[in-house]
Amino acid sequence: MPSKPLKSDPSDVRASNIRAVFSLLFPSGQMSRAELGRRVGLSRMAISEVVAEMVDSHLLREMGMDSRTGRGKRSVMLAVDSDGWRIVSIDLTHRFVLRGALTDLCGRIVERTEIPCDDLGSVQPETVCDLCERLLAETDKPILGLGVAVPGIVVDDGVVSRSVNLGWTNVPLKERLEERFHIPAVVCNDTNMALLCECTFGQCSDNSMFVGVNDGVGAAVCVNGEIVMGQHCAGGESAHVVVDPKGPQCVCGKRGCLEALLSAPRLRKRIENEPEARTAILAEAGQRLGSALSMSVSLLDLSDIAVFGPPEIVGEAFIGAMREELEAGISADYRSTPVLHRCQQGEDLFLRGQAVAVVKLLIDRIHNSDLESRVPEKTGRDITGAASSQDPSRSERRPTAS
């Protein structure tokens, strides 16, 4: 007998509608209820109910009437309520400092703090928790979630499977954060978050690659609007691909990895030893990187590549040589060479990208049924400060996404 079609769970339908409406407006769009209803495929009554809940939940806000003239009733425009919630975002990519920020719902940074460290290898999960605690103490806004961008492989349940830079193996960072703060946490690979930032706020298209050249070397790939994760959540991982078996020793134990050859500290050291060869050294580095990536770019038919790194390293000599190598390796009559450009998002791209990931993953967890426990001006509850030994229940009183 043919199986009966499964009934849609109302909570799934609700979540899907919220995601669809929010994605049309995020990060800076404006639309009327009628236009949102047409785009999402909901009736006038249904879209009004969805929007009403999202406005009450401080996800959307009314922006006033549209600017059209002529006949007909003008529409009330809606946009993301950027100031309704806060996100804690942590960046573990820098060698001697842990960077953290509070962002609004559109990924704009509103507060910053840092913790210096001797080296990334000395950083422990407790250090990350301490940085989160400092940031939580700086806001009286409800918290959507915690996000951490990690240099390394992060599997689906927020476990840092392997991070050479941090010296971590199978660290359940998401679990530890949620146990301490009772707030949903999202832990992701740092380079994926950089690409997400560039796709959201920068020049990257739905079929693009991000390449970072800094203390390490990393890459991330987006195909048809989705970041490629791969079987082991290591999609785009290229730092420890061997390109010269007789090259310098890498921190991973192998020789001639991309990171050992092309990291910013390595290139600076070479330039320091041979200052007259600066341009040639950087051109050689760009050529090596272009050669290493050309096959992947060709196989995936990517349209653009964003390169991030210190301006004294990732400059015209580096970019020019990389572009020439890509053109030589993948040019064909039926397609153009991918556009190669320097990332313009600055050092905040990891923090902002991680905030976007928190928004995309947690935005539909906000429910009307427990709204009173989330919006501080409606409850008058004390939500300042983070969990402490003097008052261990404070983290549970903070409004969060469940």
- 171-195 pLDDT per residue, tens: 999 999 999 999 999 999 999 999 9
Q: Is the pLDDT of residue 392 over 70?
A: no
Q: Do domains 86-192+349-379 and 203-344 have the same CATH topology?
A: yes
β-bridge partners, 112? 101
pLDDT in tens, 215-273: 889 999 999 999 999 999 999 888 888 889 999 998 888 999 999 999 999 999 999 99
Q: What is the CA radius of gyration of the chain?
A: 23
Mean pLDDT of the region 312-317 = 96
Alpha-carbon 262 to chain mean position: 24
Predicted confidence at residue 72, as pLDDT, reads 63
| Prior bond of 5 cis (ω within 30°) | no
Q: How far apart are CA 307 and CA 85, in angstroms?
A: 31
Alpha-carbon 65 to chain mean position: 33
Q: Is the pLDDT of residue 388 over 80?
A: no
Asked whether the beta carbons of 258 and 237 are under 8 A apart, the reply is: no
More confident residue, 200 or 70: 200
Domain boundaries, the chain: 11-65+76-80, 86-192+349-379, 203-344
The region that residue 23 occupies, defined by phi over 0 for left and psi between -120 and 50 for alpha, beta otherwise, is: alpha
Q: How far apart are CA 229 and CA 207, in angstroms?
A: 14
Letter for the amino acid at 245?
P
Q: Is the pLDDT of residue 370 over 80?
A: no
By C-alpha distance, which of 234, 241, 197 is closest to 216? 241
Q: Is the pLDDT of residue 132 over 70?
A: yes
Number of neighbouring beta carbons within 10 Å of residue 238:
21
By C-alpha distance, which of 366, 394, 315 is closest to 137? 394
Predicted confidence at residue 382, as pLDDT, reads 38
What pTM was computed for the model? 0.87
Least confident range from 47-61, 235-249, 278-292: namely 235-249
Q: How far apart are CA 358 and CA 182, in angstroms?
A: 15
Q: Which CATH number is correct for 203-344, 3.30.420.40, 3.30.70.20, 3.40.50.300, 3.40.50.2300?
A: 3.30.420.40
Asked whether the beta carbons of 321 and 267 are under 8 A apart, the reply is: no
Superfamily of domain 86-192+349-379: ATPase, nucleotide binding domain (3.30.420.40)
Mean pLDDT of the region 196-201 = 97
Predicted confidence at residue 160, as pLDDT, reads 98
Predicted confidence at residue 284, as pLDDT, reads 96
* The two structure tokens encoding residue 40: 């999402």
Q: Is the pLDDT of residue 68 over 90?
A: no
CATH class of 11-65+76-80: mainly alpha
Q: Is the pLDDT of residue 278 over 60?
A: yes
Alpha helices in 101-257 (DSSP H): 125-136, 173-181, 190-201
Predicted confidence at residue 70, as pLDDT, reads 61
Least confident range from 143-157, 286-300, 306-320, 356-370: namely 356-370
Least confident range from 125-139, 239-253, 305-319, 359-373: namely 359-373
